[in-house]
Amino acid sequence: MRRMTLATVFGLVLLATGCGGPAKEDQGASGNGGKEQFVVGMSQCNLGEPWRQQMNKDVEEAAKAYPELRVIFKDAQNKSEVQQQHVKEFMQQGVDAIIISPKETEPLTAPVAEAYKSGIPVIVLDRAVNGEDFTMFIGADNVKIGRAAGQYLVKLLGGKGNVVELKGLMTSEPGKDRHNGFIEGIKGSQIKVVFDPDCGWQETRAMAEMNSALARFDKIDAVYGHNDPSAHGAYTAAKQKGREKEMKFIGIDALPHEGINYVKQGILDATFLYPTGGKEAVDWVIRILRDKETPPKKVVLPTRIFTKENVDAGGEEIP
Amino acid sequence: MNPQLEPDEQNRSRVRAVLDLLDGARGVIAFLFVFMLGVAFSPVSLKTGHSIFLQPTTQLDILYEYAEYGLLACGMTLVILTAGIDLAVGSLLGFAATFFSLLTVGYGWEALPATGVTVGAGALAGLISGTLVTKLRMQPFVATLAMMVAARGLAKVISGGIKIQPGAQPWYVYQAGQPPVFDWLTSPLPGLGLQPITLAFLLTVLVLYFVVRYTTYGRTLYAVGGNEQAARLSGINVSLTKVLAYVICGITAAMAGVSNAARLGLGDPSEAGFTYELDAIAAVVIGGTSLMGGRGGMVFTFIGVLIIAYINKILSINNVQEAYRLLAKGGIIVAAVMIQQSRTRR
């Protein structure tokens, strides 16, 4: 009986620490002939999210172009403490550079600063850390993307109409920014946001909220989803009510197997790229380590719009 | 009327009969309380001036949107009656949704074999959980926690970590459109007005109501949950009773997964069913079934599901801001449970 209890506790601890075993480590993404000169540590905060999987994929793809580069991937599984460990482990391993996409700003500011001060170049992706103790930050601007979405909708609807806005988590920065940018974008037009629930980025929530919007409004001209799954969920809900042809659907993120796929199928009218910066980070690692360049402190990535007309040509950049 | 009772006693027994009736109706009263909130706060259509909440389509939406939670709660009720718990149902829903999408969208299977295999997989998962609980004497909490983690992992493995939907991989049979079964499950049946998903939930409630209430197996569920030792001594096969409860729970979770895939038009290995087990357990407990086992039943669960589903819809249709929505939801749940559990003095 006693052994039973111990086994039980052990099992619980294993489960609680995430499937048991140490943090997942995936070595040697780019297979090369052993003439590598540079080893880069890449710490991802949560590989459970499709967008972050895409970021790692972008890093992996970009690294293939440089045979002298080897990338070590680590996944923090959405835990800041684990990500703090990642930075320490990379320092102990003696990597030549670190790419980190932090889960949270505060807990990772100190470890990043420590690595930077010890002489390792640190590139921070997507979410910033505080202060100046990092090599460079690469990220996109959600306000700009939201504004582009708003301006596009003004054009698409001829300046007026009823819009349903399916918001992302409004306690998160991307949610707030994509909302504020959009409101700026439609300012001055006669477009009215008639329904704007918080869907927490979740497609099932978006579907249920869209059903409520459909029940309340006899005419909806467009749906703006803060991410592509929300817009897709709204389309599905409208289709199940036979009303999908009445309105336009636009979303954000433009992942290849989600948003871009939806545009190709005519489900979404447009999606706006939220770039991962994975490729840019790898390019900058090479320019810093091999070419000894001094990088700018901050790089803001441009967005792209994908519509039925330009999706096969790879979309169109919005300056 | 018993002539031997004193007039006073007669009155008392009459009062008792009324109280018993109220006891049974209490869940219904709690539900009516929530329903009246919906009527009172409903926005009205700008065109016709009718209440949006009372529109038949809105009422049908409520059942349709909550059918997946409802299916999970049905199976969960059986497990909880045996004094067990099944934490794996949310993950099993996610696995089933992913697996069903893989079979239909990916490999182009027909509806029936795909549904059969998916539901079979759910039953197998329940069989494993049940065996861990009975043969290996693991705590239900631990055994199903392990199943919860493993099922989520398996969903991510078979999908390659991405949502399974038309066009997501170049080798999928469906590159556009969707399998006809997805459309069938989500379109109202002619003459009935209900979607097959909603119907599946209602029929499951009905079937399990009869199983729990009127079969020998139903009575053994209560016996095992009420006093396991006594049940064993009186010759009941306790292990079989429990294993069967987990198997049925796995089956309803798989049915919910198939519904989820059809409703969304895709199989999402990470998000589908995530934390749904909490909502399912909440619906069962709010309905009035005891977590200690041996007390409760399907009618309670059905009412519990309705209460939560209606609260969600009322808050959604009024476009209440998220923070206030959470506050209101907590408040209404407490009020509904207080109405429903208030014990009349005897």
pLDDT in tens, A47-85: 888 899 999 999 999 999 999 999 999 999 889 999 999
pLDDT (mean) for A233-258:
95
Size of interface A-B (CB pairs under 8 A): 90
CB atoms closer than 10 angstroms to residue B281: 22
Confidence class of residue B265 from pLDDT cuts 50, 70 and 90? very high
pLDDT (mean) for B55-66:
90
| Model confidence at B64: pLDDT above 70 | yes
Predicted local confidence at residue B290, as pLDDT: 86
Contacts of B57 in chain A (CB under 8 A): 215, 241
| Model confidence at B278: pLDDT above 80 | yes
pLDDT (mean) for B269-277:
93
Predicted local confidence at residue A245, as pLDDT: 95
Q: By the CB < 8 Å criterion, does B264 face chain A?
A: yes
Contacts of B327 in chain A (CB under 8 A): none
Contacts of B142 in chain A (CB under 8 A): 8, 11-12
| Model confidence at A29: pLDDT above 50 | no
Name which of B165, B278, B309 is nearest A212 in CA terms: B309
Alpha-carbon distance of A100 to A85, in angstroms, equals: 12
Q: Which residue has the higher pLDDT, A21 or B134?
A: B134
pLDDT (mean) for B172-191:
92
Predicted local confidence at residue B337, as pLDDT: 79
Please give the share of chain A, as a percent, with pLDDT higher than 70.
89
Q: By the CB < 8 Å criterion, does B160 face chain A?
A: no
| B65 contacts A203? CB cut-off 8 A | no
pLDDT (mean) for A149-160:
96
Predicted local confidence at residue A292, as pLDDT: 93
| Two structure tokens written together for B116 | 């059969």
| A236 contacts B161? CB cut-off 8 A | no
Confidence class of residue B342 from pLDDT cuts 50, 70 and 90? low
pLDDT in tens, B80-130: 999 999 999 999 999 999 999 999 999 999 999 999 999 999 999 999 999
Please give the share of chain B, as a percent, with pLDDT higher than 90.
65
Confidence class of residue B288 from pLDDT cuts 50, 70 and 90? confident
Contacts of B321 in chain A (CB under 8 A): 198
Contacts of A197 in chain B (CB under 8 A): 316, 319, 322
Predicted local confidence at residue A169, as pLDDT: 87
| A261 contacts B168? CB cut-off 8 A | yes
Q: Mark A126-150 as b/e (b = at least 16 C-beta within 10 Å).
A: bbbbeeeebbbbbbbbbbbbbbbbb
pLDDT (mean) for A161-170:
94
First to last CA, chain B: 20
- β-pairing, A136-140 vs A298-301, is parallel
Q: If you count them, how many residues does chain B have?
A: 346
Residue B201 distance to chain A (closest CA, Å)? 18
Q: What is the ipTM of this complex?
A: 0.82
pLDDT in tens, A195-236: 999 999 999 999 999 999 999 999 999 999 999 999 999 999
Nearest to B271 among A8, A170, A203 (CB): A203
Predicted local confidence at residue B3, as pLDDT: 52
Alpha-carbon distance of B294 to B219, in angstroms, equals: 10
Find the helix or strand (DSSP H, E) in which A304 lies: strand A303-307
Predicted local confidence at residue B17, as pLDDT: 67
Confidence class of residue A251 from pLDDT cuts 50, 70 and 90? very high
Predicted local confidence at residue B296, as pLDDT: 86
Strand order in the sheet with A270-273: A190-195, A160-166, A222-225, A248-253, A270-273, A303-307, A316-318
Confidence class of residue A18 from pLDDT cuts 50, 70 and 90? very low
- For A242, the 3-state DSSP assignment is coil
Alpha-carbon distance of A118 to B278, in angstroms, equals: 46
pLDDT (mean) for B155-176:
92
Alpha-carbon distance of B285 to B274, in angstroms, equals: 19
Q: Which residue has the higher pLDDT, A124 or B12?
A: A124
